[in-house]
Structure 1
Amino acid sequence: MHPTPILQFGTSRFLQAHVDLFVSQAMDRGQNAGPITIVQSSGDPSRSKRLEGLVGSYPVRVEGLDEGKKVQETIKVRSVARALTTAVDWQEVARVFVEEVEFVLSNTGDKGFAPQLCDMDRAFDQAMSYPAKLTHLLRLRFEANRKPIQIMPMELIAENGAVLKQRVAEIAQNDSAAFKQYLEKEVIWVNSLVDRIVSEPLEPAGAVAEPYALWAIENQPGLKVPCEHEGIKIVESLDEIEALKLFVLNLGHSFFADRWLASNGAADVLVRHLMDDEQELTALKKVLAEEVRPAFCAAGLEEKFDAYVPVTMDRFANPFLDHKIADIAQNHQQKVQRRIRAMLDWAAEKGDHSDKPILQNIVIRNREAA
């Protein structure tokens, strides 16, 4: 088999419709990218059919709006050459990691980084967290004196590369000084932010996704990308992109959810239904223009804000996406703190002290409710 320079931990439908699709399209365009070895780190036997279905070719249906126009297309993803599981194929995973890999990608879900009792054990254990498994593999690569490697976590964690690096360093605290120096100086740990709504899986493998896709990667010395793609953006800092996503897209969702909760709305209301409701759409546009935009102007980001809002409106109005307001409204008080209260704090920090009565009232009401 041809060597696979990319090793990916995680089999989620998000990855299938995001980086795996990016690499496939790059390969189709003649780039020297991929292929990919995918590793299931959970060991869940119920996902064996999915694992098998990823190899060779699987479909991704892209459905939504792009600049207001409907998009419906099916893309065949052909970037996955091998699929393994740490529960059964650990020795082969280790061989590929040591002998073939240049890039390590991961999206191991909410529990992937969570410390486990066996993480500090010297012998491999399937029950270990992803960072512990990665530490074992990095030890093997270090002992084999192979060239440096780049670690690119894609979990939705702020500064995900730095967080993963710190966790691996904790697990390796009793290792040799030389190995710890290797982790610090020779392994490249990359921070990134990913964004794409992947609404449903296809069986046995594949997914349905919106047209919008982003992989924002924070620049640093020695950085390389697995492929070139229009969805990949190299940025000097992720702060601006994180602010746009959190304080426009996510804030907009929670703004809708707050109004829905206050009106005791029906359980089957979708985001796109509210985009078709003139009163609701006007309310959203008003709060974005009058209360959110001044903060981005104060931060010197008005042009990026003005470009991002129409894209967000297209995403909200996606006629093929059944995004329930009831789902968005789960854990609403916590989301208000992270999305709306945090925006108010960020605005003040950037020098925007304009009145924001609508957002302030949402924060006050939900603080009382909590």
Structure 2
Amino acid sequence: MTPILQFGTSRFLQAHADLFVSEAMAEGRALGPITVVQSSGDPARRLRLEALAAPGGYPVIIKGLENGEAVQREVRVTSIVRALTTESDWPEIVRIAVEEAEIILSNTSDSGWSPQPADHLPDFAQGMSYPAKLTQLLLARFKAGCRPLTVMPAELIASNGDRLRDRVLELAGPLSADFSAWVSDEVVFANSLVDRIVSEALEPAGAVAEPYALWAIEEAAGLVLPCSHAAIKVVPDLERIEKLKLHILNLGHTYLVAGWLRRGGDKGRLVRGEMADAAIRTDLEDLYETEVLPTFLAAGYGADARDYVEVTLSRFANPFLVHRLSDIAQNHAEKIRRRIGAFREWSKGLGVDEDSQPRLKRICDEEAS
């Protein structure tokens, strides 16, 4: 039995949620093991899929500074016991969703959430987006008369649970009014925020990550957690944590990528290399000071934001991580919209002068053109 059904095989999940569940299982503090599902159908990832569920697990190497001291340790992650793909294993995935799952967890690509023409088909098709595939699984569970469950997206999208619920309800309505009501009333869509720099993939499975880790989950009636772990925090409201993460750490990453692309985009360039360049680091520090922190001050949590900036700069400068700007640059346009464009909209709503953010404005204008 696998009470956790996970969509996504990213190195991030391998060193985050999957690792937490593995550590908690060893202490009897987890729901149980995981079935992981590859939803893209990419045959190039087949080896990774097989390795995730291999006997003995896969390695995660933790490198960095912890309480001021350099650490390096390897953890074996053994929480994944079954690995499937929607392309060929859909009937078995449906069975697990109906008979075993208590939580459906996801961390899919940005494009995986984008609406697709196949989304409105009455039955499953591989070309569906992740929300449409999830809708099909929930429909099967509803028809089987099964109890509700928790859906827990871990994508870096503000209010990700609310956003996923809205899309599922949009798709569920034409399928069945009773099903739509069941989704609305009985299924818990948890808002959550994940935070850990996972800099390298190991082959065929595994990852290298920093010591810092957070999984913040918003309180909700009927919420089921995958495990109990020191990195998991249940909070009454995610907004403050989301704003700090998205508009300081993630915004900083995207700002660095924009500058890197402007300079020609050397594929070997690392985040720590940017931090070692005095001019680039000074520019980023000034960006935070003059274009970012005033908005957090206007929102009423300037002190928290200033502390988070200091932590973020330290994490960026981690000398042990091979964190490539070329990796962060994936889906760059969408990241500009979510991390910088949304920040500027938030700033405007708080009465912050748009002209006080010239560098952020330039990035948005360049992307728009």
TM-score in terms of structure 1 length: 0.86
- The separation in 1 between residues aligned to 2:343 and 2:124, in whole angstroms, is 43
Write the distance in 2 (CA, Å) between the matches of 1:130 and 1:331: 17
Provide closer, same or farther for how the CA distance between residues 222 and 328 of structure 1 changes in structure 2, counting only shifts above 3 A. Answer: closer
325-334 vs 84-93, greater mean Cα deviation:
325-334
Superposition pairs for residues 314-325 of structure 1, below 5 Å? 314-325=314-325
Match of 1:184 in 2: 184
Q: Which moved more, 1:276-285 or 1:203-212?
A: 276-285
Of 34, 44, 47, 2:45 maps to 47
SS of 2:13's equivalent in the other structure is helix
The equivalent residue for 1:24 is 22
Identity of matched residues, %: 53
CA positional deviation for 1:77: 0.4
Cα deviation 1:51-109 (Å, max 9, x = unaligned): 22111311111122334432211110011121122222222212211111110011221
- Aligned residue identity for 2:126: Q
Q: Is the 8 A contact 1:337 1:363 kept in 2?
A: no
Residues of 2 paired with 1:368 and 1:59: CA distance?
A: 41
**Secondary structure of the residue that 1:148 maps to in structure 2?**
coil
The count of corresponding residues between Structure 1 and Structure 2 is 366
Confirm whether residue 224 of structure 1 aligns to residue 242 of structure 2.
Answer: no
Deviates more, 1:150-159 or 1:332-341: 332-341
Query: Equivalent residue for 1:195?
Result: 195
Counterpart CA distance in 2 for 1:352 and 1:258 is 23
- Residue 12 of structure 1 aligns with an amino acid whose one-letter code is S
Distance 1:65 1:102 in 2: 36
3-state SS of 2:296 partner: helix
Cα pair 2:8 2:37 within 8 Å, conserved: yes
1:113–1:307 CA distance, 2 compared to 1 (3 A)? same
Structure 2's unaligned 5+ residue stretches are: none
Task: Output the amino acid matched with 2:52.
Answer: L
User: CA 1:157–1:306 in 2, change beyond 3 Å: closer, same or farther?
Assistant: closer
- Given that 1:65 and 1:314 are in contact with CA atoms closer than 8 Å, whether structure 2 keeps it comes out as no
Q: Unaligned regions of 5+ residues in structure 1, if any?
A: none
Deviation at 1:128, TM superposition (A): 2.6
SS in 2 for 1:112: helix
Distance 2:331 2:30 in 1: 44
State yes or no: 1:9 paired with 2:7.
Answer: yes
- Correspondences of 1:1-370 after superposition (within 5 Å): 3-55=1-53, 56=55, 57-257=57-257, 268-325=268-325, 339-340=339-340, 342-347=342-347, 349-350=349-350, 356=356, 359-361=357-359, 363-364=361-362, 367=365, 370=369
Could you tell me how far 1:116 is from its partner in structure 2? 3.0
Aligned partner letter, 1:247 = H
CA distance in structure 2 between the partners assigned to 1:312 and 1:214 by the alignment: 13
Q: Is this contact kept in 2: 1:107–1:155, CA < 8 A?
A: yes
- Range with greater deviation from structure 2 (183-192 or 323-332): 323-332
Amino acid at match of 1:123: D
1:23-77 C-alpha deviation (Å, 9 max, x unpaired) = 0111122314321111222233332221221113111111223344322111100
Cα distance in 1, alignment partners of residues 25 and 162 from structure 2: 30
- Kindly provide the amino acid, as one letter, of the partner of residue 272 in structure 1: R
Rg (Cα) greater in structure: 1
Say which is worse superposed, 86-95 or 267-276, in terms of deviation: 267-276
Q: Specify whether residues 71 and 188 from structure 1 end up closer, same or farther in structure 2 by C-alpha distance, changes over 3 A only.
A: same
Which letter does structure 2 place at the counterpart of 1:53? A
Note the aligned Cα RMSD (angstroms).
3.0
Asked if structure 2 preserves the Cα contact closer than 8 Å seen for 1:193 and 1:216, the reply is yes
Letter in 2 for 1:44: D
Instruction: Quote the offset at 1:341 in angstroms.
Output: 5.7
Tell me how far apart the structure 1 counterparts of residues 16 and 146 of structure 2 sit (CA, whole Å).
29
Cα pair 2:151 2:187 within 8 Å, conserved: yes
Q: Is the 8 A contact 1:254 1:335 kept in 2?
A: yes
Q: CA deviation at 1:7?
A: 0.6
Distance in 1 separating the partners of 2:333 and 2:140: 45
Contact 2:59/2:206, CA 8 A, preserved across alignment? yes
